Amino acid sequence: MFTVNEIHEAHAKVKSGADFPKYIQEIKKMGVKSFETWVKDSHTIYNGLNGFSTASQPKYDDLTISNELNKEEFARLLKIHQQGETDYFTFCNHCAETGVEKWIVDLDALTCTYYDNKGGLVLTEQIPG
């Protein structure tokens, strides 16, 4: 199976949201089936075959997630990030400011789904394969 260190090595190649699809393909080859990333500190739970899972440590001090979801602003900031105009930490701050608590990536379906802090679905996007 895969380790958090192997995933971090792959993620180190990601300089912006524009690099995300390559990262997804690389960790999919490692055996990652899905992962859930929490915006407050960027800790992530990675899931593989046969119930295997591992988790990363927090990457930064806790951010405060807004209780007010601003779906339109989140979608606008996400597009900017995907075009390579913001780094990961800036994107996480934008998520927190617009009320996005986490995202779940399904590597088989190639989707990334964002949720608010009430568990409500904010947006599902197809990841370019």
Which tens digit of pLDDT belongs to each residue from 10-39?
988 887 777 888 999 999 999 999 999 999
3-state helix, strand, coil in the chain (%, to 5): 35, 25, 40
- 95-118: average pLDDT: 97
Residue 71 near residue 10 (C-beta atoms within 8 A): no
Amino acid at 117: N
Residue 5 near residue 74 (C-beta atoms within 8 A): no
* Beta bridge pairs of residue 124: 113
pTM for the full model? Answer: 0.91
The mean pLDDT value of the chain amounts to 94
Q: Report d(CA 18, CA 34) in Å as an integer.
A: 20
Q: How confident is the model at residue 83 (pLDDT cuts 50, 70, 90)?
A: confident
